[in-house]
Amino acid sequence: MSAAEETDGESSPWGEVTPEAARRLLVAAVDAFAERGYHATTTRDIAGRAGMSPAALYIHYKTKEELLHRISRIGHDRALLLLETAADSDGTASERLADAVRSFVRWHAERHTTARVVQYELDALGEEHRTEIVALRRKSDAVIRRIISEGVQAGEFDVPDIPGTTLAVLSLCIDVARWFSAQGSRTPDEVGDLYADLVLRMVAAQR
């Protein structure tokens, strides 16, 4: 599945990227980075996948790193929004944690090509952009940590090490992007439900 074919419930994935040529280049970059890795991908590779000349790429993106930053920023913003929406909803800590994990995992499965680039090419970013993305990751960490802390305070969860458990939950969810395949035996919804149940067991949620 290419980045252009991925969907996360939005009518037009990457629809926020305009004009159309810039969107095509970004989609091509996602596919190239996911397949070859950032460092092995050239701007010529990206332009060729988009059906454009290498010179056309520089009209929309100054550097290859700028493309990676745009991909990473959009992906992290989207993932953070999913977590915050679940965390701020009504319901018990168990319900909100399950919803957060379910939506986070589903996004990593439905958009696994994009997610592999978003989650595993962080070190290829320049210092300024890497600092910005790390700050977004810390916000995601804080959202999950908040839900778990509230569950502990409410007596729903038994978690001796909240920071460590938060890291384990996020790592478990993110890793879905490594192995998920659209041709596999499980759908994104099924994987989301499975991981939500696993995480509730991890925090010893009172059923």
Structural domains present in the chain: 64-202 (1.10.357.10)
What pLDDT is recorded for position 5?
A: 52
Would you state the pLDDT for residue 4?
52
Q: Reply yes or no on whether the pLDDT at 10 is more than 80.
A: no
Q: b or e along 83-110 (b: 16 or more beta carbons within 10 Å of the residue's beta carbon)?
A: bbebbeeeeebbbbbbbbbbbbbbbbbb
Q: How far apart are the first and last CA of the chain?
A: 37
Q: What is the mean pLDDT of residues 153-177?
A: 96
Asked whether the predicted pLDDT for residue 12 surpasses 60, the reply is no
Closest CA to 144 of 130, 158, 162, 156: 162
Q: Tell me how far apart the alpha carbons of residues 130 and 49 are, in angstroms, rounded to a whole number.
A: 26
Query: For residue 155, which of 94, 85, 103, 69 has the smallest C-alpha distance?
Result: 94
Q: Distance between CA atoms of 27 and 71, rounded to whole angstroms?
A: 9
Tell me what pLDDT residue 13 has.
Answer: 60
pTM of the model: 0.88
Higher confidence at residue 10 or residue 39? 39
Residue 135's pLDDT is 97
pLDDT recorded at residue 8: 43
Give the chain's mean pLDDT: 91
pLDDT tens for 55-88 read: 999 999 999 999 999 999 999 999 999 999 999 9
Lowest mean pLDDT among 3-17, 108-122, 152-166, 191-205: 3-17
Determine how many CB atoms are found less than 10 A away from the CB of residue 35: 15
Residues 22-34 have pLDDT tens digits of: 999 999 999 999 9
**Is a pLDDT exceeding 60 seen at residue 6?**
no
